[in-house]
Structure 1
């Protein structure tokens, strides 16, 4: 379910004073149950802000994520380990965290394909090609 921002919740509460739950739900394109929950939460707490969630706090900020994405775009063939070595003194994160940040930004670490060496037959054909004179 998409997040409903506090500004929208305030508007929902104001509209509920003059309109029905169904009308408000249609106006804001949310379910009636969601409108009822917002109303109940407002009556219990007196505000429309979400309560803090549990869970481990993030190691990096959104700004640091953008910085890492920029570094990764600047050198697209660098590995997560190389980025970790250059970036780790500033922010203590693991290589796996760097991989997750890159994939969240649509950047997947790939190593360019190496061409196989020429075999004897190919080498023989290369030497028989006419050479252009050097200028």
Structure 2
């Protein structure tokens, strides 16, 4: 079969098929190689725990969440905020308005 025919059957473009075939011929494998960069300090399970904690206590500050979050490593507040944002949670501040009487 041609690359285009394979792509039509799998609903993938022919360029992806050709790249995978060339990679398989060169390396004998189609998996991605390990990328450079620092490994994450937290696992997916730790991130889910953080999101659960944040949903249980929606008004808690990020410092409080960090102290209650039981992770082996100490993390910065920016890392914690990135994990929350990746999980779909973002910080908000209440709008200051005069009290109604």
TM bucket (normalised to shorter chain) is 0.7 to 0.9
SS at match of 1:69: helix
2:42, 2:71 within 8 Å by CA — same for their partners in 1?
no
The number of residue pairs the alignment matches comes to 101
2:66, 2:77 within 8 Å by CA — same for their partners in 1?
yes
Quote the residue 2:91 is aligned against.
109
Quote the residue 2:82 is aligned against.
100
Quote the residue 1:55 is aligned against.
37
Alignment of 1:7-26 (within 5 A): 19-26=1-8
1:79, 1:109 within 8 Å by CA — same for their partners in 2?
no
- How much does 1:87 deviate? 2.3
- How much does 1:85 deviate? 2.0
Largest Rg, 1 or 2: 1
- Separation of aligned partners in 2, 1:90 and 1:110: 28
SS at match of 1:64: helix
Quote the residue 1:5 is aligned against.
none
* CA deviations over 1:23-74 (Å, ceiling 9, x no partner): 0011112221111110011011112211111112111100000000000000
Q: Pick one of 26, 48, 59 that aligns with 1:44.
A: 26
Q: TM-score, normalised by structure 1?
A: 0.66
- Separation of aligned partners in 2, 1:20 and 1:117: 71
- Moved runs in structure 1, 4+ residues, more than 6 A? none
- How much does 1:91 deviate? 3.0
Quote the residue 2:58 is aligned against.
76
- Separation of aligned partners in 1, 2:71 and 2:39: 20
Q: TM-score, normalised by structure 2?
A: 0.86
Alignment of 1:123-134 (within 5 A): none
Larger mean CA deviation between 69-78 and 90-99 belongs to 90-99
Q: Which blocks of at least 5 consecutive residues in structure 2 are unaligned?
A: none
Cα-Cα RMSD: 1.9
